[in-house]
Amino acid sequence: MGFVPKHGKEFERQERPSRRFNDYKGELEEVNVKNGAFVLDAGCGSGVVSRYLAERFPASWVIACDENAALIETARNSAQKIPNLFYEEQDLRRLKYPDGHFDLIVSRHVLYRRDPDSLKRILSEFARILTPDGKLVVIETDGG
């Protein structure tokens, strides 16, 4: 089982440090995609990274997924004016995307919370849904 928020204020708890430090921008500054690319924010939480990616790559499609339905709904509401961004409730161990679908997968502050079996399954899913020349970006430390 993945991370489960302890209270209904999880969205704001995740957003606050991101707004203050903008560390995700530095972490992703060297990441680029071609126009029309499909990008996945895997384990999107509040959606701060997916909003950034969708605004940075307006000619691409960004799909953000998380296991927490309430968090997905709040993230979706915060991004209503971003036309190339879509939020979905998904289990990272059993993603419902076709093989070779994504050009880029970003997973930030997600994998370290997983037990070894779940981690193995998630990474297998990432490999399955990436295009042959796709990129996986995993960030597990702030500002890293």
Domains of the chain, each with CATH number or no CATH = 34-139 (3.40.50.150)
| Residue 103 DSSP SS3 | strand
From the centroid of its chain, how far is CA 20? Answer: 19
Q: How many CB atoms lie within 10 A of CB 24?
A: 20
From CA 11, how far away is CA 111, in angstroms rounded?
A: 19
Plot region of 43 (φ>0 → left; ψ -120 to 50 → alpha; else → beta): left
One-letter amino acid of 100: G
pLDDT tens per residue across span 13-30 = 555 555 554 688 888 999
Cβ of 121: how many Cβ atoms within 10 Å?
17
- pTM of the full structure: 0.84
CA distance 24 to 126: 20
* Per-residue model confidence as pLDDT tens digits over 79-122: 999 999 999 999 999 999 999 999 999 999 899 889 999 999 99
